[in-house]
Amino acid sequence: MTIREIGQLVMVLLIGCGDPEASNTRQPAADAAGLEIYDAYAPAPAAPDVGSLYFTVVNRGSTADTLTAIETSAGGSATLHDMIHEGGLTRMHPTGPMPITPHDSLRLAPGGYHVMLSDLSRQPRVGDTITVVLSFARAGAIEFDAPVLMYTDVVRLLGDYGGSER
């Protein structure tokens, strides 16, 4: 086994540890009607009016649910975005309502799904907390807090990237 292979194995194990599906010992940031919220972080925006937000929704129930709207205490709008990679270009794209099937999860992480925060009323700083309300078609509203951290700390905590150009 080469060093690189060992590295890859360690990475796989670390990613495994970070997967809320694989860990039943972690406390969710919030839960309702079979939906659990984990890994909620907001990097301190570098721009005064534009930021992002990450979290993971795990559906432990037996019915599908759909994330229909996002509101935050940061003001402005919050939109779930996917990242599209085509022809060497990377761009964000609003997903619209996002279904989460039973025993599946929606994971937001750098380079993949993320919430884009626009028209922020105030630039959040490291140490602040953003209150997030997710609206689901079945479960209704789920509220939780996302600490505001440095971008590099968010990357470290989420352990891997949600996607990357190949």
Partner 1 sequence: MNLTANLNATAILAVVVAAACVADQPPRPEDLRGTSYAQPMQKPDFTLRTTDGDSFDFRTETDGVVTLLFFGYTSCPDICPIHMGNIAAVLRTLPPDVSRRVKVVMVTTDPERDTPERFGAWLKNFDPSFVGLIGPLAEVNEIQIQLNLPPANRYGDDDRSYTVGHSARVIAFTADNRAHVSYPFGTRQNDWAHDLPLLVKPNWEAN
List contacts with partner 1 (CB under 8 A): 43, 45-48, 50-52, 81, 83-85, 87-93, 110-111, 114, 116-118, 150-152, 155, 161, 163-166
Find the shortest distance in angstroms from Cβ 11 to partner 1: 10
Q: Which residue has the tokens 């997903």?
A: 95
Find the shortest distance in angstroms from Cβ 152 to partner 1: 5
Find the shortest distance in angstroms from Cβ 45 to partner 1: 7
- Taking the C-alpha atoms of residue 85 and residue 42, their distance in angstroms, rounded to an integer, is 23
φ/ψ of 16, rounded to 5, equals -55, -40
Asked if 45 and 122 touch (Cβ cutoff 8 Å), the reply is: no
Identity of the residue, 28 or 51, whose beta carbon is nearer to partner 1 in the bound complex = 51
Tokens of 75: 């003001």
Identity of the residue, 74 or 139, whose beta carbon is nearer to partner 1 in the bound complex = 74
Find the shortest distance in angstroms from Cβ 64 to partner 1: 27
- Taking the C-alpha atoms of residue 162 and residue 90, their distance in angstroms, rounded to an integer, is 14
